[in-house]
Chains A and B, each alone.
Chain A
Amino acid sequence: MSTATETIVASGGRVRRTPGSPRARQERRAGYAFVSPWLVGFVVLTAGPMVASLYLSFTDYNLFSAPRLVGIENYSRLLSDPNFLQAAKVTGLYVLIGTPVKLVSALAVAMLLNNSRRGQGFYRSAFYLPSLIGGSVSIAIVWKAMFIDNGIVAQIGSFFGGPPAAAGGWVGDPDRTLPMLILLTVWQFGAPMVIFLAGLKQVPAELYEAAEVDGAGPVRRFLSITIPMLSPVLFFNLLLETIHAFQIFNSAFIISNGSGGPAGSTLFYTLYLYLRGFRDFQMGYASAMAWVLVVVVGIVTVIMFRTSNAWVHYSGDER
């Protein structure tokens, strides 16, 4: 489809072997042979379905009768759908609060562990464990059991003089389900922490020494050395964690038993999309929702990349 443009882009600015020579042809053939599994997968499982869902988003389709074109009706209905607005709000809050808190926790613990004391490997692995299991159904069930009714969270809360647990505990309280799920994602700070720690190891010690000679205190050293030197890693973590946060599903599904309740407080975007698509079989509407998500995530990604020039500092040959 776009092979012509691809060739131009790919060969642009680069001197390659004379295209006609047998060596070059052999090289090209080998390259395509090796890339073909991925290429087939990309076309069949990603590019094709993306185009298809864009088309479906302009139709009314329930899996059983043929799709019927309805123009932009799905999109315009979204704006007046209270559940959609609720899903957008809950997900937005989750992304805006959960991601920064998670990354700050990750950075704080990474700073704590970044020294030459013994046991670092142990701490690193132990703090990483929640990231490995946190997305599982098992942990969602445990989380629910901890926060439900007069469970241990309510007990600890009342021990510290908190208000008595309402019926259902945090799980049944629309104002507390979001904090509960944010705690679950913050609990999984280990993966970004490991990445921060690897980044901290690469900051040259001479920089700190020089800054100290110049009389910079710990806060100044953190702001003027650690943060700029760590900014590529910070950017990477921020980007990936934000995109992941948009797609929260498992925990919300398990904790609300697939309903998004109570009072829509766990009706996250992908959960609502799932319910529309696979419970109500409104494939057109769900496709429109999926495309709105892609566009929003795309805009967020572009904004991050654009603004990154201002605060992400690539030193030496890192890029």
Chain B
Amino acid sequence: MTATHTPTTQRPTERTLTTQGPEPTDRATSAKLRSQARRRGRLRSILFHAFSLLVLAVILYPALWMLMSSFKPSADIIGSVSLIPTNGSFDNYLTALKGIGGISFWTFAANSLVLALASVLGVVVSCSITAYAFARTDFPGRRVMFACMIATMLLPFHVVIIPQYIVFNQLGMINTYWPLLLGKFLAADAFFVFLMIQFIRGLPRELDEAATIDGAGHGRIFFSVILPLMKPALVTSSIFAFIWSWNDFFGPLLYLKTPSTYTMPLALRLYVDQTTTSDYGAQMAMAILALLPVLLFFLAFQRYLVGGVATQGLKG
């Protein structure tokens, strides 16, 4: 509705009307034209929303179907297009919460949580320090290192996993979280470093200069000036770090062999393997539970998430 009143709108038809339409001869025609345009604008708006919602419904159907199926009895799931459970209950969740092979559901949840929180800590600490180095200090080799860092974003990580696995295996770190966390504490996720560099570059240099005049070195400037201002970038990075760690499947698949160390995705896979194929209800419930933190993060921080993705592409 607001759109109809703004002449600067990018929609072509309205401008066609004002720039190329017949020159209004008197007030009456002009008012008539305006109300016509408004009506047409409203119709257009309704059509836009109807169409967008239709597309959205198709796109979100699988997610909704998963959610609603988790309340259905297993026999009602596979062939049922309907979203409304006829005999809805929380039974599937009770089954899923019982855990797998004597290991409680909460063990897996706790494992995932520990890993995700540690990842967030590692990313925030190591990537902010690295980003400061690239954005605000000058040293021989900086450009080459920056190029190397960007290149790691494009590098298929499969080329490093075999030697990494061999070394971690020899160090006896299979079934521990070290192989999964070490990279987080050494700023190996170039995406976060890059995001933070872009953010720091946007901060006025005058702040640093003022601090330098006051006698502050790089350590002081980083901790007292830059880091507090970086909060939005740190929040965005933390959310992504949490979600990616929570959803990670490949890393845990390589390094975690004992079920008691399993994270949620591994547990989910084990669950699907072990339950008889007909117990789709419990699988759906477990799948929802495994996604729950991600969905909550999405609902709470969607602006940060979407904003983070948008800037990443623009500055690239």
Contacts and interface: CB of A to CB of B under 8 A. Distances in A.
A39 B291 CA distance: 34
Nearest to B266: A137
A149 B78 contact: yes
Interface stretch (A4-12, A78-86, A94-102): A4-12
B137 A142 contact: no
A252 B309 CA distance: 25
B286 to A, nearest CB: 8
B62 A34 contact: no
Interface stretch (B23-31, B32-40, B144-152): B144-152
A34 B130 CA distance: 6
Nearest to A141: B287
B186 A130 contact: no
Contact of A145 (B12, B77, B130, B142): B77
Contact of A49 (B2, B49, B160, B287): B160
Interface stretch (B99-107, B202-210, B230-238, B246-254): B246-254
Contact of B56 (A11, A123, A202): A123
Nearest to B10: A205
A292 to B, nearest CB: 10
Interface string A121-158: 10111111111110111110111011011111011100
A164 interface: no
A168 to B, nearest CB: 11
- In terms of DSSP, what is the predominant structure of the interface of chain B? helix
Nearest to B302: A125
B132 A135 contact: no
B117 interface: no
A44 B217 CA distance: 29
Interface string A266-295: 000010010001100001001100110110
A127 B55 CA distance: 9
B59 A11 contact: no
A27 B63 contact: no
A273 B141 contact: no
B10 A136 contact: no
A40 interface: yes
Contacts of A291: 159
A31 B138 contact: yes
B142 A10 contact: yes
Given A135-B247, A277-B162, A297 B156 contact: yes
B6 interface: yes
B187 A137 contact: no
B62 A142 contact: yes
Contacts of B219: 30
A310 B22 CA distance: 43
B290 interface: yes
Contacts of A306: none
Contacts of B183: 41, 45
Interface residues of B, number: 107
A222 B15 CA distance: 17
A69 to B, nearest CB: 16
Contacts of A46: 152, 155, 160, 188
A109 interface: yes
Contacts of A49: 159-164, 167
A92 interface: no
A239 B78 CA distance: 37
A37 B187 contact: yes
Given A115-B48, A194-B309, A246 B156 contact: yes
A38 interface: yes
Given A136-B291, A257-B273, A277-B162, A119 B306 contact: no
Given A116-B2, A133-B291, A250-B250, A35 B145 contact: yes
A53 B162 contact: yes
B140 to A, nearest CB: 4
B156 A294 contact: yes
A218 B15 CA distance: 13
Given A48-B163, A141-B272, A195-B312, 5 more contacts: A37-B186, A41-B185, A125-B302, A192-B313, A205-B8
Interface of B: 1-3, 6, 8-12, 15-16, 19, 45, 48-49, 51-52, 55-56, 59-60, 62-63, 65-66, 69, 77-81, 126, 129-130, 132-134, 137-145, 148-149, 152, 154-167, 169, 182-183, 185-188, 193, 217-219, 222, 243, 247, 249-250, 253-254, 265, 268-269, 272-273, 280, 283-284, 287-288, 290-291, 294-295, 298, 302-303, 305-306, 309-314, 316
Q: 7 shortest A-B CB distances, which residue pairs?
A: A41-B186, A195-B313, A31-B139, A34-B133, A31-B137, A52-B163, A138-B287
8 contacts: A31-B133, A42-B145, A42-B186, A49-B162, A116-B3, A143-B62, A156-B81, A236-B316
Interface of A: 3, 6-7, 9-11, 16, 26-28, 30-35, 37-42, 44-50, 52-53, 56, 63, 109, 112-119, 121, 123-133, 135-139, 141-143, 145-146, 148-152, 154-156, 187, 191-192, 194-199, 202, 205, 208-209, 212-213, 218, 221, 232-233, 236-237, 239-240, 243, 246-247, 249-250, 253-254, 257, 270, 273, 277-278, 283, 286-287, 290-291, 293-294, 297, 301
